[in-house]
Structures are given as C-alpha cells and as structure tokens.
Amino acid sequence: MRRTLYLLLSLVLGVAWFTILVTGLSTGIGLAITLVGIPILVGMLWLVRWMAQAERALVGALIGVDATAHYRRPPHPGFAAQVMTRLGDPQTWKDLVYLFVQFPLGILWFVIATLLLGLTFATLLAPLYYWAVDGGIEAGLFTADTLPEALALVPLGVLLGWISWHVLDALGRVHGAWAQLILASSPDPELTARVHEMRSSQARIIEAADEARRRIERDLHDGAQQRLVALSLKLGMARKRLEAGDDNAVELVTEAHEESKLALAEMRDLARGIHPAILIERGLGPAIEELATRATLPVVVEEAPEERLPPATEAAAYFVVAECLANVSKYAQAQGATVRARCEVGRIVVEVVDDGVGGADPSAGSGLRGLADRVEALGGTLTVHSVAGHGTAVRAEIPLVSAPAAAG
C-alpha cells in the first residue's frame, strides 16, 4: 500500500522538482551575465540537496529503501569552500539527474497506478453503479446491465486487485532500486575527505608540537636559564665574600634570593603552559576558575564541572578555554567574557563567549586551528561563530574519552 501511495505521489513530486529546477537554473543562467544569477545558482546547490533529501525520506518511508548519501565535507571552513566542495561532489550531480528524471517517471508510474486501480475499483463496485451506465458496463466481450451480471464482475475485480497489488508493488521496488542506485552513495567520498582532513590535522599537530618545543626551549634559555646563571654567579660571589669576611655578602645573598623567586615564578608559568598542576590535582572546574582569575578582563564562569573527567578530555577542554581567553585579551577588544562548561551524555560542551569586535577567522591563525585539531583528535568538534561587531562565540564538544591528550 505504501509503495502504491508513492507511485501516486510521484507525478506531483516530479512536477514540483522539475518546475523548481527549470525555473531556478534558467533564471540563474539567464541572469549570470549581470552577476545577479550567481547567488541564484549557488542557492540551487543547497536546494537540490534539500529536495534530494526529501526524496530519500519519502523513498525510505514509503518504499522501504535506504538511499542514504555520503556527501563530501569541505576541507576547511568558509562559504567558498562549501560551494566548491558541492560543485565537485559527484553526488550533487547524481541528485540533479534523479530529480529531473523523476518527472517522466512520475508520469509513467502515475498513469499505470491510476489505470490499474481504476479498473480494479470499477469492477469491484460494479453492482453499485451499473444502472447509471447507458448500455451497461462493458468488460471486454461481456456487458453487465443487470444486477446479477454486475455481481459477476466482482470476482473479476478481486482478481484485478490481486494482480494490481503485485504489479504496483513490483513497480515500487523498481523505483526503489533506481533511487538507491542514484540517490545512495558509498561512504568513500566521506572517508576520502576524512582521511585528507586527518592527514592535514596530523601535519598541523606535528607543526604545532615543534613550535611549542621551540617556544619552551626559547623561554627556558631567555628566561629561567639566564636567571639561574645569574643566581649561581651571585651565590658564588657571596660565598667568596663570606670567606673573606666581607659584610656586603648579605646584600648579594638577598639579590640571589630574589633572583631565585623570579626564576621559580617563570618556571611555574612555563609549566602551567605545558600542563597546569591545578588541572592534575583538582580537575577542570578549579582550573577554569583559575584561568578566569588570571585573565586581564572580567570573566564570568557560569558553569564548570565539579566531578573529575578523563584526563584527555580535561586537558582539551582546559586549553580551549585558555586559548580563547588569551585571544580575547589580545585581539577582541572586549569588555568581558563568559565561560560555560557542562557535561552532557557522553561529552562535555565548552563555550567561551565575548562581547568584542568579532570577525575571528579560524583559518587565518594557528591558535583556533590548533584547538580544532586537538578537539578533533579526540573525536569532537569545534565551531566558531564570529560576526564583525557582535563578539565571538567558540563552542567545543568533546567526548568523554580516556586516551591521553597530546601536550600543548
């Protein structure tokens, strides 16, 4: 019955898809020379996919065929990347072919379905209307113009109904096979895009790790190492003065003590950038609170998990907040920021929102791109919504995984 319903709907669907496609494409191509048609043609890329998805839903619900498609994903963020990816995706053109062919197929399926159903119901209901037909009901060489003769057509109607049922069911299966052939696709395009994305992400992670190592070496050499050298020299001078009975040795010891405190502070800051001790000892909630306290602008922590999470998840969530707050302080020109980190089923959702100038581009810098790589390495996602003049909102969804996170 459901397959028959789809065959009856196919003409309406075919006319609708054909009308929309012809109107949109002809208008877009006709106005392309004035550049007005370009947005129309781009919009048709999205419209074709929506119509194909509607067909997949109907084919699945009424015919019982899974015609799931695996579309390619853009290699990097941006509207232009989405447009080029859809243009280069073979499934886009397969969807277009299916929608155009639906019009002649819809006519064929509708005519066959209405003919078979009409004959079936005409013979089954003959006793109810035979008297209203001049000359009686003609069924081949047989004419029924009396009630007994009309009743004799009922068994013929039952036979026609049985035949129609199987014929229409077979036609529905045929259309389902056609839909599966054109609308469905193997996951190869998605896997190929995913592999490309993972390779790019891996290369960026290695590059970021090398850069972080060089930064640590530079900070150690220029900061703590120099202070430790100065501390060693001053302690050596103080020892010699003490041996010589010089009263000025106390001054050198005092300077050495201050130098040691500065060296410890620099070492502590450096260690915090690698992996903060508070995150290991007390968990994500207190670590986020400490980040908010150390920020150079007012930061409100609206939500933070109290329970301990897997180390990899805690590290990724912490560095999302840390990098975002650092970016807000450097670039956003914001008056304040809000941090939310809440646990949901099987994941933690981290959101950092500021009221700054907006316009952040994840593809333009290494900070947000590195965060995206870290989150995606754990199977999560990171999205950035930043409209110029309306602030920036960064949202990360990170699975509660137990694998160790990469240091960074």
Region 34-38: mean pLDDT is 85
List phi, psi (to 5°) of 297. Answer: -140, 165
pLDDT at 311: 85
pLDDT band at residue 293 under the 50/70/90 scheme: confident
pLDDT at 291: 86
Is residue 88 within 8 A of residue 46, CB to CB? The reply is: no
Region 250-263: mean pLDDT is 69
pLDDT at 273: 53
- d(CA 8, CA 114) in angstroms, rounded, equals 8
pLDDT band at residue 407 under the 50/70/90 scheme: very low
Q: How many CB atoms lie within 10 A of CB 371?
A: 25
pLDDT at 405: 39
Q: Which of 119-123, 226-230, 326-330 has the least mean pLDDT?
A: 226-230
pLDDT at 341 over 90: yes
pLDDT at 127: 81
Contacts of 382 (CB under 8 A, 6+ apart): 320, 368, 371, 372, 375, 376, 394, 395, 396, 397
pLDDT at 141: 62
pLDDT at 104: 95
pLDDT at 408 over 50: no
In 3D space, the residue among 361, 349, 352 whose CA is nearest the CA of residue 386 turns out to be: 361
- d(CA 329, CA 331) in angstroms, rounded, equals 6
Q: How many CA atoms lie within 13 A of 404 on its CB side?
A: 5
pLDDT band at residue 348 under the 50/70/90 scheme: very high
Q: Pick the residue with more confidence: 72 or 167?
A: 167
pLDDT band at residue 129 under the 50/70/90 scheme: confident
| DSSP code string of 330-392 | III--S-EEEEEEEETTEEEEEEEE-S-----TTTSHHHHHHHHHHHHTT-EEEEEE-TTS-E
Q: For the chain, give the percent of residues with pLDDT over 90.
A: 28
Q: Pick the residue with more confidence: 378 or 299?
A: 299
Region 42-54: mean pLDDT is 93
pLDDT at 194 over 70: no
User: What integer best gives the mean pLDDT of the chain?
Assistant: 80
pLDDT at 88 over 80: yes
Region 225-248: mean pLDDT is 69
Q: Which of 6-15, 316-325, 360-369 has the least mean pLDDT?
A: 360-369
pLDDT in tens, 202-227: 555 555 555 556 656 665 555 556 66
Q: Pick the residue with more confidence: 82 or 258?
A: 82
pLDDT at 302 over 80: yes
pLDDT at 393: 92
Q: How many CB atoms lie within 10 A of CB 347?
A: 19
pLDDT at 157 over 60: yes
Q: Pick the residue with more confidence: 343 or 364?
A: 343
Q: For the chain, give the percent of residues with pLDDT over 70.
A: 76
Burial class (CB in 10 A: 0-12, 13-18, 19+), 247: exposed
pLDDT at 404: 40
What's the residue count for the chain? Answer: 408
pLDDT at 114: 92
pLDDT at 154: 82
Q: How many CB atoms lie within 10 A of CB 387?
A: 11
Q: Which of 36-45, 69-78, 240-249 has the least mean pLDDT?
A: 240-249
